[in-house]
Amino acid sequence: MKLTLGFSPCPNDTFIFDALIHHKIDTEGLEFEVFYDDVETLNHKAFQARLDITKLSFHAFAYAVKDYVLLDAGSALGFGVGPLLISKKDLAASDLQEVRSPSHNPQPATHNPQLRVGIPGKFTTANFLLSLAFPNLTNKTEFVFSDIEDALLRDEIDLGLIIHENRFTYQNKGLKKIIDLGSYWEETTGCAIPLGGIVIKRDLPDDLKHKVNRILRKSVEYAFENPASGIDFIRKHAQAMDEEVMYKHIELYVNKYSVNLGPEGRKAVRLLFDTALSKGIIPQIDESIFL
């Protein structure tokens, strides 16, 4: 049986899926037709239910939950892995909006809604966190995530919301961090930040969904046990990324939650959804999220 599968060309995804799509593990009779897209493109494909299995942002999952259910394996959660808000200018978080918790007794903050913000997609979890921390920053323009740094350098935007490997490159271009929004989430909730997950069509047979989850977990475990096995595949899709950055990218986004969400991971995902619902950022969800 062949299933359509979408994930990004980023090192964390190619690391996870290498063994699965290249049959380095037993895929139990399943074949996969693979589509490589940036995460926001995958988000929009999920809204149209175009793929059987896909990576998507957890923020976007709220808009696709009627068609998909979350697998336990393959997710990107963690501490210290969140998106960064950066700028070419000398700005501080207090120049935008106070984001510390009430226990810090924040002083009145300066609001500047006219600041232009480059985001990696409306439905990314990064944009969800930005909306949560800085609800007054509404002048947003969408970019492919890898173009945000250059847009800052060209003064097309005042602030940039960066994800993926750009966490490791922005300083080399003279850009400055304003705030790590992952740290903001962690300090506010005490939970890991859920960034993206792997979902599967809800209407597929339950035994098939569990088979895919089982195979995906084996693929992640194989990658951990044989970290050099997929290096050529990972490098091929890494868009001329420096090898050191490539490995840092994998180390940052692939961890125990990628093998299995577990109770902690499920709690973090549920909290993300509950927080978004309470803020009116996502619609009401009636379906079960988890497999």
Q: Sheet containing 140-142: which strands, arranged edge to edge?
A: 140-142, 117-119, 159-162, 84-87, 176-180
Report which of 283, 95, 286, 230 is spatially closest to residue 176, judged by C-alpha positions: 95
Is 56 a known ligand-binding residue? yes
Contact, 247 vs 15, CB < 8 A?
no
* Spacing of C-alpha 241 from chain mean position: 19
Let me know if 104 is a catalytic residue.
no
Q: How far apart are CA 112 and CA 115, in angstroms?
A: 6
Is 126 a known ligand-binding residue? yes
Query: Cα-flanking dihedrals φ and ψ of residue 83, to 5°?
Result: -70, 155
Please measure the distance between the N-terminal and C-terminal CA atoms of the chain and give it in whole angstroms.
Answer: 21
Q: How many CB atoms lie within 10 A of CB 141?
A: 12
10 DSSP 8-state letter? S
Catalytic residue among 111, 164, 210, 237, which? 164
Q: How far apart are CA 279 and CA 291, in angstroms?
A: 26
Q: State the helix-helix crossing angle for 262-278 and 181-189, rounded to 10 degrees.
A: 100
Report which of 221, 174, 155, 176 is spatially closest to residue 18, judged by C-alpha positions: 221
Is 57 a known ligand-binding residue? yes
Strand, helix or coil for residue 200: strand
Q: State the helix-helix crossing angle for 125-133 and 181-189, rounded to 10 degrees.
A: 70
* Spacing of C-alpha 184 from chain mean position: 16
Residues annotated in a binding site for substrate = 55-57, 125-126
Residues annotated in a binding site = 55-57, 125-126
User: Which active-site residues does the annotation give?
Assistant: 164
